[in-house]
Amino acid sequence: MPMPKISPATWDMTHLLSFVTVARTGSLKSAAATLGIPQPAISRHIGKLETQCNGRLFGRTGRGMTLTELGARVFPRVEHLLAEANALSQEITESSGIPFGDVRIGALPSHYLTIIVPLILKMRRSHPGIKLHIFEGSGGQIDQWLVSGHIDIGMPYRYGKPNPSDADTLLTFTSCLIGPAGDTLTQAAELPFAKLDRLPLILPSAPSGVRMLLDQLAKRANITLNVIVEADSTQLQKAIVESGEAYTVLPRHPVAAELASNRLQAANLVAPVIERRVVLATTVVRPSSLAVRTVAGAIRSLYRSAAVTRAMHGEGPRAPAGAKSKARGTDSAGQA
């Protein structure tokens, strides 16, 4: 089947980017969220591009937008064109030595105030030509975004011993059992991992890195993890723990405010100590631009500053003993 005649009008790169993004995400809504522009604008871009191509590029199904035969044939050419345009922009920008352009960052929710806000302020002052796009996600989501090229830079978690070929380690945290205020179990400074046996837990769902590690450790220790709720949201985990219905496993920094206000408690898990590292990783889908490298350097500097180290590793005060805990069903005297 011959390619339809295409009008000689100038290609609009914004329209082409919208086309590729809809094809990758499968819907106008997802494409709009990815690009940060209104959904009607995405729809107009596609309409104009279809007029220019003299044919439909997408078909609508119950599962979203799918490429037509024409769309599937055009897609790799448009991808290549956009890649060449980006490479040209990068080459011109780097030849001037001035970082410029968009940088997409995936960050953990608990690092926003400590890292992301200072990063935005720093980039605005020192490199106004760089535009940051911030995406909040779990460690697993950030890894997926890096693989797909949805983000340029990610700061996910890693578990176990560092690999020399792994991404830059920014900070290392010790995992804790998080319990409600007044809970006997988490009043202790340290808690053997085996004590998690049959405790009601709210944990991320597999294939979360921490969940897979906890499952492996439980199998080795011959204990049962009683996961009553699976939730990837740290906010939801904290809310359920605070209600006294379950425990969770987190570092101290995501619960720093709750520890300081005596709403939650944290006991360091030992035997074994469970470490999680925040790493800096970049996508391998495309080379890192000067802007990406500049932002990555600023992120490293922020994470390794004394202020961030204190904030991330600071311990909140423990709650006073005596309050009841539904999660364990005991009071400060240890009575069931």
pLDDT recorded at residue 93: 64
- Helix, strand, coil percent values for the chain (each to nearest 5): 45, 20, 35
User: 58-61 and 64-67: which strand pairing?
Assistant: antiparallel
The answer to whether residue 320 sits within a structural domain is: no
- What is the pTM assigned to this prediction? 0.65
Q: Are residues 195 and 207 in the same domain?
A: yes
Q: Are residues 200 and 61 in the same domain?
A: no
The answer to whether residue 123 sits within a structural domain is: yes
Tens-digit pLDDT profile for residues 161-190: 666 555 688 888 899 999 999 999 999 999
Q: Answer whether 56's CB lies under 8 Å from 68's CB.
A: yes
The mean pLDDT of the chain is: 84
Q: Are residues 144 and 188 in the same domain?
A: no
Residue keyed to tokens 């080795």: 220
Dist. CA 331–CA 336, nearest whole Å:
8
Dist. CA 153–CA 125, nearest whole Å:
20
Burial of 320 (0-12, 13-18, 19+ CB in 10 A): exposed
Residue 246 backbone phi and psi in degrees, to 5: -165, 170
Residue 275 backbone phi and psi in degrees, to 5: -100, 145
Give the rounded percent of residues in the chain with a pLDDT score beyond 90: 47
C-beta pairs of 321-324 under 8 Å, 24+ apart in sequence: 321/182, 321/184, 321/187, 322/182, 323/180, 323/181, 323/182, 323/183, 324/182, 324/244
Range of the domain at 123: 98-171+278-313
The answer to whether residue 335 sits within a structural domain is: no
Q: Are residues 71 and 117 in the same domain?
A: no
The answer to whether residue 69 sits within a structural domain is: yes
* Higher pLDDT among residues 16 and 91, named by residue: 16
Tokens of 116: 């992301």
What radius of gyration, in Å, describes the C-alpha atoms of the chain?
24
Tens-digit pLDDT profile for residues 115-164: 999 999 999 999 999 999 999 888 888 888 888 888 999 998 888 766 65
Indicate the number of domains in the chain. 3
Q: Are residues 187 and 218 in the same domain?
A: yes
Tokens of 168: 């830059």
Residue 222, C-beta contacts closer than 8 angstroms, at least 6 positions apart? none
**Residue 189 belongs to domain with CATH number:** 3.40.190.290
Q: Are residues 269 and 286 in the same domain?
A: no
Q: Are residues 164 and 299 in the same domain?
A: yes
Tens-digit pLDDT profile for residues 219-250: 999 999 999 999 988 899 999 999 999 999 99
Residue 282 backbone phi and psi in degrees, to 5: -120, 155
Dist. CA 262–CA 223, nearest whole Å:
30
